[in-house]
């Protein structure tokens, strides 16, 4: 039996960050992972998905604008090469993380762990079974694909995001069940590659975490990318057909059927709380996840849960930040996090990025706020980037602070960082107004947006 200061289950963006941080602070750490270092995010999630999306967007942009200023011959997209490129990126990053874990003295074990008590586990590896105990424990087991109890959901050709990432042949038609973040990112990616895509969403609106005025901005780009969207569509059954797969769904009290070569199930992910003996720990949990304090501690002292498994917000960067919180609490440094200050990015085309509550949530909570919307055309760079149709939406409170923001358009993934810093630090409107932004850059649209709050915008009618 080996004893450590800290034992971590799961080597995703929560687990491996906690391991490195704790080791740098002097703890003896064992990190146990059942599959591969990097977890879902690095191996079959964020990184590989965005690698393929990047390649698809480059291809689509080239095809779309080649009649403007670019003249080429016939352009082809090689999905097999793109998948190989994605795999190379993943392998390179995994090797980098393993190198850092080794250099910081973290003991990494690849095997299946089972709790025998709150702070002891048995790990089955290729070499046999080993036992580990620790003073503190961090559970970072992540989440798994959620499947609906639909007849035919296990048919060949019906895949989750992991399966679609390994696909090396473009189908003629792809049906996506679920219009959330995962579903819409894959829908746009395949649509940009020339695949006919149909999204079936049960709710009245895709991307329900976003305001309707934002979602409506995706309608035209979706059509340009050969993506059709059907809301209020409840999938009832999948069956084999001579063309591949038949998807039967109910919409407006009428049964409908559509055909596809490939079906992606993207109806969300559930916290992974089964299969590793959590019932032997005394830790409270349910299918909805493991409840934790603001310091990520469970009901059992010294046992923490971070990332998707606590289900506070299923984002890799949230898991990483919660890793720091848990490790700091082990050292007696009490800090928490405000989930309203967490940025999110949707990698469709255009991109959408947001931080803070939506306007819909503000209305439901009877909050006082003002809204300012600023078009990307207020920044000259947007014309250079062919991105003048985007815009910034700011919500301002009575304290003269922006407390929520949404960006839709080119470089939204980068622009949201500046807004997040301002919101997190409760920067006053006039302080951003008095800040100099470089010209010509997309960031100037943020300056114009802040000027628009007091009706002082220069490059658009506020």
Q: DSSP string spanning 31-65?
A: EEESS-TTHHHHHHSHHHHHHHHHHHHHHHHHHHH
Tell me if residue 187 falls in helix, strand or coil.
Answer: helix
**Catalytic member of 112, 439, 447, 455:** 439
The verdict on whether 317 is a catalytic residue reads no
125/78 Cα distance (integer angstroms): 38
Instruction: Tokens for 264, please give them.
Output: 């992606």
**CA end-to-end distance (rounded Å), the chain:** 68
28: left (phi over 0), alpha (psi -120 to 50) or beta: beta
For residues 187 and 197, the answer to whether their CB atoms sit within 8 Å is: yes
Closest CA to 285 of 303, 302, 269, 268: 303
Burial (Cβ within 10 Å: 0-12, 13-18, ≥19) of residue 438:
exposed
The number of beta carbons lying within 10 Å of the beta carbon of residue 370 is 12
Q: Report which DSSP code applies to 215.
A: H
Kindly list the distances between the CA atom of residue 191 and the CA atoms of 60, 167, 185, 261, in Å, as whole numbers in the listed order. 9, 15, 10, 14
Question: Which residues are 176's β-sheet partners?
Answer: 199, 264
Instruction: Tokens for 377, please give them.
Output: 């055309």
Tell me if residue 452 falls in helix, strand or coil.
Answer: helix
CA angle 41, 13, 100 (to 5 degrees): 115
Estimate the crossing angle of helix 412-424 against helix 444-453, to 10 degrees.
50
Instruction: Tokens for 341, please give them.
Output: 């200050």
For residues 231 and 144, the answer to whether their CB atoms sit within 8 Å is: no
Tell me if residue 118 falls in helix, strand or coil.
Answer: coil
Instruction: Tokens for 327, please give them.
Output: 């490790």
CA 305 to chain centroid, in Å, comes to 19
461/303 Cα distance (integer angstroms): 55
205/214 Cα distance (integer angstroms): 11
Instruction: Give catalytic residue positions.
Output: 439
């Amino acid at each position: 039996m080996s004893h450590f200061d800290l034992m971590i289950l799961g080597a995703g963006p929560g687990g491996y960050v906690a391991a490195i941080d704790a080791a740098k602070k002097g703890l003896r750490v064992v990190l146990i992972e059942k599959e591969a270092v990097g977890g879902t995010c690095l191996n079959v999630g964020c990184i590989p998905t965005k690698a393929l999306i990047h390649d698809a967007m480059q291809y689509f942009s080239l095809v779309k604008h080649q009649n403007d200023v670019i003249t080429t011959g016939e352009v082809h997209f090689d999905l097999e090469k793109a998948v190989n490129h994605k795999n190379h990126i993943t392998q390179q990053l995994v090797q980098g993380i393993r190198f850092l874990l080794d250099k910081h003295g973290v003991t990494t074990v690849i095997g299946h762990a089972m709790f025998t008590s709150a702070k002891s586990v048995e790990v089955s590896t290729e070499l046999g079974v080993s036992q580990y105990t620790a003073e503190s424990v961090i559970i970072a087991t992540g989440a798994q694909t959620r499947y609906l109890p639909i007849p035919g959901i296990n048919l060949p050709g019906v895949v989750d995001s992991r399966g679609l990432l390994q696909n090396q042949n473009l189908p003629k038609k792809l049906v996506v069940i679920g219009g959330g973040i995962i579903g819409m990112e894959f829908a746009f990616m395949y649509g940009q590659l020339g695949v006919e895509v149909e999204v079936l969403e049960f709710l009245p609106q895709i991307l329900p975490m976003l305001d309707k005025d934002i979602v409506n901005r995706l309608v035209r780009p979706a059509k340009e990318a050969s993506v059709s969207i059907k809301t209020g569509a409840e999938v009832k059954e999948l069956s084999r057909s001579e063309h591949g797969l038949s998807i039967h769904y109910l919409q407006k009290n009428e049964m409908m059927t559509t055909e596809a070569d490939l079906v992606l199930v993207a109806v969300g992910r559930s916290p992974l709380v089964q299969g590793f003996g959590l019932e032997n720990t005394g830790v409270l949990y349910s299918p909805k996840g493991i409840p934790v304090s603001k310091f990520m501690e469970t009901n059992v002292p010294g046992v923490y849960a971070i990332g998707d498994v606590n289900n506070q917000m299923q984002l890799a960067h949230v898991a990483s930040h919660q890793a720091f919180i848990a490790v700091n609490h082990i050292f007696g440094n009490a800090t928490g996090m405000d989930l309203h200050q967490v940025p999110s990015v949707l990698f469709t085309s255009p991109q959408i990025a947001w931080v803070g509550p939506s306007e819909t949530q503000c209305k439901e909570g009877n909050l006082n706020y003002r809204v300012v919307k600023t078009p990307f055309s207020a920044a000259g760079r947007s014309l250079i980037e062919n991105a003048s149709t985007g815009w910034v939406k700011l919500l301002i409170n009575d304290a003269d602070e922006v407390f929520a923001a949404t960006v839709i358009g080119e470089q939204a993934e980068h622009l949201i960082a500046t807004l997040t810093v301002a919101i997190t630090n409760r920067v006053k409107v006039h302080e951003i107004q008095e800040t100099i932004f470089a010209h010509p850059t997309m960031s100037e649209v943020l300056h114009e947006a802040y000027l628009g709050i007091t009706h002082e915008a220069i490059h658009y009618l506020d």
